[in-house]
Amino acid sequence: MKTPSAHLVDTDAALLQDLPGADFSDAFSIALSDEQARQSAAQLAELMFRRKPSWISLLLSIRNRAVAMFGLRAADMQIDDGVRRAVGGFPMISQSDDLVQLGFDDKHLDFRVWVRRDAATPTSPAQLTLTTVVRTNQLLGRAYLGAIMPFHRCIVPAMLNSLRS
Protein backbone atom coordinates (compact mmCIF):
# COMPACT_ATOMS: atom_id res chain seq x y z
CA MET A 1 0.00 0.00 0.00
CA LYS A 2 1.37 3.43 -1.00
CA THR A 3 1.76 5.98 1.80
CA PRO A 4 -0.22 9.16 1.09
CA SER A 5 1.92 12.19 0.30
CA ALA A 6 1.55 15.77 1.50
CA HIS A 7 -1.53 17.52 0.22
CA LEU A 8 -2.88 21.07 0.16
CA VAL A 9 -5.41 21.88 2.90
CA ASP A 10 -7.32 24.99 3.96
CA THR A 11 -5.33 27.59 5.89
CA ASP A 12 -6.42 27.90 9.52
CA ALA A 13 -8.10 31.33 9.67
CA ALA A 14 -6.87 31.89 13.24
CA LEU A 15 -3.27 31.84 12.00
CA LEU A 16 -4.00 34.56 9.45
CA GLN A 17 -4.85 36.93 12.30
CA ASP A 18 -1.22 36.88 13.40
CA LEU A 19 -0.15 38.63 10.18
CA PRO A 20 -2.98 41.05 9.24
CA GLY A 21 -3.08 42.06 5.59
CA ALA A 22 -1.31 38.90 4.43
CA ASP A 23 -0.86 38.64 0.68
CA PHE A 24 -0.37 34.88 0.57
CA SER A 25 -1.10 31.80 2.62
CA ASP A 26 -1.12 28.08 2.10
CA ALA A 27 -1.05 24.93 4.15
CA PHE A 28 0.08 21.40 3.40
CA SER A 29 -0.61 18.37 5.56
CA ILE A 30 0.63 14.82 5.88
CA ALA A 31 -0.51 11.85 7.93
CA LEU A 32 1.89 10.83 10.70
CA SER A 33 2.92 7.36 11.73
CA ASP A 34 2.04 6.26 15.26
CA GLU A 35 5.67 6.82 16.29
CA GLN A 36 5.77 10.32 14.77
CA ALA A 37 2.47 11.22 16.43
CA ARG A 38 4.19 10.84 19.82
CA GLN A 39 6.83 13.45 18.92
CA SER A 40 6.35 17.17 19.55
CA ALA A 41 5.76 19.64 16.73
CA ALA A 42 9.29 21.02 17.31
CA GLN A 43 10.85 17.56 17.04
CA LEU A 44 8.95 16.89 13.82
CA ALA A 45 9.94 20.30 12.38
CA GLU A 46 13.61 19.68 13.18
CA LEU A 47 13.45 16.19 11.68
CA MET A 48 11.80 17.57 8.54
CA PHE A 49 14.55 20.19 8.05
CA ARG A 50 17.32 17.68 8.75
CA ARG A 51 15.92 15.26 6.16
CA LYS A 52 15.24 17.81 3.43
CA PRO A 53 16.04 16.57 -0.08
CA SER A 54 19.43 17.68 -1.44
CA TRP A 55 17.84 19.52 -4.37
CA ILE A 56 16.29 21.93 -1.85
CA SER A 57 19.75 22.83 -0.54
CA LEU A 58 20.88 23.47 -4.11
CA LEU A 59 17.90 25.76 -4.80
CA LEU A 60 18.56 27.59 -1.53
CA SER A 61 22.18 28.18 -2.52
CA ILE A 62 21.08 29.63 -5.86
CA ARG A 63 18.48 31.78 -4.09
CA ASN A 64 21.06 33.15 -1.66
CA ARG A 65 23.39 34.19 -4.48
CA ALA A 66 20.55 35.81 -6.43
CA VAL A 67 19.09 37.84 -3.55
CA ALA A 68 22.45 39.05 -2.22
CA MET A 69 22.48 41.81 -4.85
CA PHE A 70 19.19 43.12 -3.43
CA GLY A 71 20.45 43.14 0.16
CA LEU A 72 18.11 40.36 1.30
CA ARG A 73 18.97 37.90 4.06
CA ALA A 74 20.64 34.64 3.23
CA ALA A 75 18.71 31.55 4.35
CA ASP A 76 20.45 28.40 5.47
CA MET A 77 17.78 25.90 6.63
CA GLN A 78 20.03 24.70 9.43
CA ILE A 79 19.03 23.79 12.97
CA ASP A 80 20.35 26.22 15.59
CA ASP A 81 20.31 25.09 19.20
CA GLY A 82 21.81 28.38 20.42
CA VAL A 83 20.29 30.98 22.71
CA ARG A 84 18.03 32.34 19.99
CA ARG A 85 16.61 29.08 18.76
CA ALA A 86 15.91 28.58 15.08
CA VAL A 87 14.57 25.73 13.00
CA GLY A 88 15.51 25.56 9.37
CA GLY A 89 17.21 28.96 9.60
CA PHE A 90 13.97 30.57 10.72
CA PRO A 91 13.82 32.10 14.21
CA MET A 92 11.40 30.36 16.56
CA ILE A 93 8.73 32.78 17.76
CA SER A 94 6.75 30.41 19.94
CA GLN A 95 6.53 26.73 20.75
CA SER A 96 4.22 24.24 22.43
CA ASP A 97 3.99 20.45 22.15
CA ASP A 98 1.55 20.77 19.25
CA LEU A 99 2.56 24.00 17.52
CA VAL A 100 5.78 25.77 16.53
CA GLN A 101 5.74 29.26 15.06
CA LEU A 102 8.74 30.39 13.00
CA GLY A 103 9.38 33.57 11.04
CA PHE A 104 10.58 37.14 11.02
CA ASP A 105 9.80 40.58 9.66
CA ASP A 106 12.09 42.00 6.99
CA LYS A 107 12.15 45.09 4.81
CA HIS A 108 10.63 43.34 1.80
CA LEU A 109 8.22 40.94 3.50
CA ASP A 110 7.08 39.46 6.80
CA PHE A 111 6.38 35.78 7.06
CA ARG A 112 5.30 33.13 9.52
CA VAL A 113 5.52 29.37 9.30
CA TRP A 114 3.53 27.17 11.66
CA VAL A 115 4.22 23.50 12.10
CA ARG A 116 1.19 21.96 13.82
CA ARG A 117 0.70 18.40 15.00
CA ASP A 118 -2.91 17.30 15.31
CA ALA A 119 -3.84 14.17 17.26
CA ALA A 120 -5.53 11.25 15.60
CA THR A 121 -9.30 11.08 15.61
CA PRO A 122 -11.52 8.03 15.26
CA THR A 123 -11.72 8.72 11.52
CA SER A 124 -8.22 9.98 10.66
CA PRO A 125 -4.59 9.48 11.68
CA ALA A 126 -2.52 12.14 13.40
CA GLN A 127 -1.54 14.93 11.01
CA LEU A 128 1.33 17.38 10.61
CA THR A 129 0.41 20.62 8.87
CA LEU A 130 2.86 23.25 7.68
CA THR A 131 1.21 26.64 7.15
CA THR A 132 2.95 29.59 5.49
CA VAL A 133 1.63 33.17 5.69
CA VAL A 134 3.35 36.10 3.95
CA ARG A 135 2.74 39.85 3.97
CA THR A 136 4.71 41.87 1.43
CA ASN A 137 5.96 45.32 2.39
CA GLN A 138 7.01 46.85 -0.92
CA LEU A 139 7.43 46.17 -4.62
CA LEU A 140 10.56 44.09 -3.95
CA GLY A 141 8.54 41.88 -1.61
CA ARG A 142 5.80 41.34 -4.16
CA ALA A 143 8.34 40.53 -6.88
CA TYR A 144 10.22 38.15 -4.57
CA LEU A 145 7.01 36.39 -3.53
CA GLY A 146 6.00 35.96 -7.17
CA ALA A 147 9.41 34.52 -8.04
CA ILE A 148 9.58 31.98 -5.20
CA MET A 149 5.97 30.73 -5.17
CA PRO A 150 6.43 28.01 -7.81
CA PHE A 151 9.39 26.68 -5.81
CA HIS A 152 7.61 27.03 -2.47
CA ARG A 153 4.74 24.87 -3.71
CA CYS A 154 7.22 22.09 -4.55
CA ILE A 155 9.52 22.50 -1.54
CA VAL A 156 6.94 22.38 1.26
CA PRO A 157 5.31 19.08 0.19
CA ALA A 158 8.78 17.59 -0.44
CA MET A 159 9.89 18.56 3.04
CA LEU A 160 6.80 17.04 4.61
CA ASN A 161 7.22 13.92 2.50
CA SER A 162 10.83 13.65 3.73
CA LEU A 163 9.36 12.49 7.03
CA ARG A 164 8.47 9.28 5.22
CA SER A 165 12.13 8.24 4.82
> Could you tell me the residue ranges of all domains in the chain?
7-164
Alpha-carbon Rg for the chain, nearest whole angstrom, is 16
Q: How do residues 37-87 score in pLDDT, each as one tens digit?
A: 999 999 999 999 888 888 988 888 887 788 777 777 666 544 455 545 788
Query: Which secondary-structure segment (H or E) carries 146?
Result: helix 139-161
Mean pLDDT score, 115-122: 95
pLDDT at 158: 95
Identify the band that residue 1 occupies on the pLDDT scale cut at 50, 70 and 90. very low
Q: Which residues pair with 118 in a beta bridge?
A: 127
The CATH architecture to which 7-164 belongs is 2-Layer Sandwich (3.30)
pLDDT band at 2 (very low <50, low <70, confident <90, very high): low
Alpha-carbon distances of 139 from 89, 135, 146, rounded to whole Å: 24, 12, 11
The reported pLDDT for the residue numbered 61 is: 82
pLDDT over 90 (residue 157): yes
Q: Assess whether pLDDT exceeds 60 at residue 156.
A: yes
On the question of pLDDT at 3 being above 70, the answer is: no
Instruction: Give the β-pairing of 109-118 and 99-105.
Output: antiparallel
Q: What is the pLDDT of residue 135?
A: 96
Share of the chain above pLDDT 70, in %: 89
Mean confidence (pLDDT) of the chain: 87
